[in-house]
Amino acid sequence: MHSFKGQYEHSIDDKGRISFPAKLRKLVNPDAQDRFVVVRGIESCLYLYPENEWLNVEAALNQANNFTRAGRIAKRNFLRFAEDISLDKQNRIAIPSDHCTFAGISSKAVFIGMGQYIEIWSPENLQKADESLDADAFEEIFEQVMGGGNSSDAD
Amino acid sequence: MHSFKGQYEHSIDDKGRISFPAKLRKLVNPDAQDRFVVVRGIESCLYLYPENEWLNVEAALNQANNFTRAGRIAKRNFLRFAEDISLDKQNRIAIPSDHCTFAGISSKAVFIGMGQYIEIWSPENLQKADESLDADAFEEIFEQVMGGGNSSDAD
DNA sequence: AGTGATGTGGGAGAAAGTGGGGACTTTTCT
DNA sequence: AGAAAAGTCCCCACTTTCTCCCACATCACT
């Protein structure tokens, strides 16, 4: 019931607000309604977690040991770029400016449903990522990811 | 539900006061509201614990065995540099000057939410720490942590 | 075509961050 | 001991940022 999918491009106004796509909003778990966490993604994009999904991430981070160097680094570099945001009465979110800069987002942003979370891209970066991925590589990656679990593929 | 996250840079005035970030303040447990403990961190930064979290630290330290060298050292070097501080009516804290010296903090300071506690860095030291962080190693840690958090991907 | 939901823009008020003055306490120096 | 210096805490004030609210245009559906 709450698996995000689809792609939606919206514009950003002068105050840094973006409409949250209505179709995605309908998929958000009611427990988390209006409450999200944005965090820097691995590629040049942002991840948006509804609160209920974020709790899983936090649980994983809390297992990192604060008194080992690797544990602290992991935690610090993940949490420092995470921030709570929520929808306003018009179902918009305001993305912190640091995060916009990181993701190269200025006047438009693309939401991509990714199952448990949502990615936010600048159109330019998304296009670059698309271009750097040729069709063969995509097929290979797809096989690698899906091949194992998909037994109907075998015969 | 009160897990600190985010990164906020604030300036320090002539009297040594720093605004405590509003977004972090909203995450402080109401039991501890306004009351904190600063302590020297392991890297060149300070740790800031809300009172309720500090009690857990104290409890852990009290379990350290006083009759082992490691136990004594851990306890001594943590407690000796710990100090109570609290927010003033404008939600500012005054960091003791020797703590500032230790962390190299002069005109600006960066707060980093670390889950149960908060780190305070000088911008310079933080940047140094960032530069010494190997990007590939971090990505590996990142995937490891995130992979664990996304266990609900299975269904 | 009408109606309601959705995406976009702007104005006003509230909140956050910053700086400084003044009263009071504590420390230090002669 | 007494005075000067430093530190602490409260109040006030200003600027910037955020957020709430209203308005309007567009789209989708019946």
Q: Which residues of A touch B153 (CB under 8 A)?
A: 115-116
Please indicate whether, in this complex, the C-beta atoms of A77 and B153 are within 8 angstroms of each other.
no
Q: Is the model's pLDDT at A103 over the cut of 90? A: yes
Contacts of A29 in chain B (CB under 8 A): none
Q: What percent of chain A has pLDDT over 70?
A: 94
pLDDT 10s digits, B13-53 = 989 999 999 999 999 988 887 899 999 998 899 999 999 99
Q: Does the pLDDT at position A146 exceed 60?
A: yes
Instruction: Tell me the mean pLDDT in the region A129-148.
Output: 83
* DSSP track, chain B: ---B--EEEEEB-TTSEEEPPHHHHTTS-GGGTTEEEEEE-SSSSEEEEEHHHHHHHHHHHHTS-TTSHHHHHHHHHHHTT-EEEE--TTSEEE--HHHHHHHT-SSEEEEEEEBTEEEEE-HHHHHHHHHTS-HHHHHHHHHHHHHHHTGGGG-
Amino acid A57: pLDDT: 85
For the stretch B114-152, pLDDT in tens is 999 999 999 999 999 988 877 777 777 666 666 544 444
Judged against a pLDDT cut of 60, whether residue A142 lies above it is answered with: yes
- Greater confidence (A118 vs A136) lies with A118
Whether A87 sits with its Cβ under 7 A from any strand D atom: the answer reads: no
Contact (CB, 8 A) for B88 and B98: no
Percentage of chain A lying above the pLDDT 90 cut = 51
The pLDDT score that the predictor gives to residue B151 is: 41
- Interface contact A70-B141, CB threshold 8 A: yes
CA distance B155 to B151: 9
Q: B22 beta carbon < 7 A from strand C?
A: yes
- Put simply, the answer to whether B152 touches A61 (Cβ < 8 Å) is no
**Residue B142 confidence (pLDDT):** 66
Residue B71 has pLDDT above 90, yes or no: no
Supply the pLDDT for residue B147.
56
What residues contact A83, with CB distance under 8 A and at least 6 apart?
A37, A38, A39, A96, A99, B5, B6, B23
Query: What per-residue confidence (pLDDT) applies to A22?
Result: 93
Q: Is the CB of A26 under 7 A from strand D?
A: no
Examine the pLDDT at B102 and tell me if it is beyond 80: yes
CA–CA gap between residue B46 and residue B139 (Å, rounded)? 26
Chain B nearest-CA residue for A58: B149
Q: Report the pLDDT value the prediction gives residue B146, as an integer from 0 to 100.
A: 60
Its pTM stands at 0.88
Q: Which residue has the tokens 């990811």?
A: A145
Contact flag, residue B144 CB and nucleic strand D, below 7 A: no
- Whether A116 has a pLDDT exceeding 70, the answer reads yes
CA-to-CA dists, residue B1 to A69, B65, B115, angstroms: 25, 32, 10
Chain A residues near any Cβ of chain B (below 8 Å): 37, 42, 53, 56-64, 66-67, 70, 72-84, 98, 115-116
Average pLDDT in the A110-136 region?
A: 91
Whether the per-residue pLDDT at A152 is higher than 70: the answer is no
- What average pLDDT does the structure give for chain A? 87
**A10-14, A76-80, A142-146, B87-91: lowest mean pLDDT where?**
A142-146
Distance from CA of B65 to the nearest CA of A (A): 18
State residue B1's pLDDT score: 56
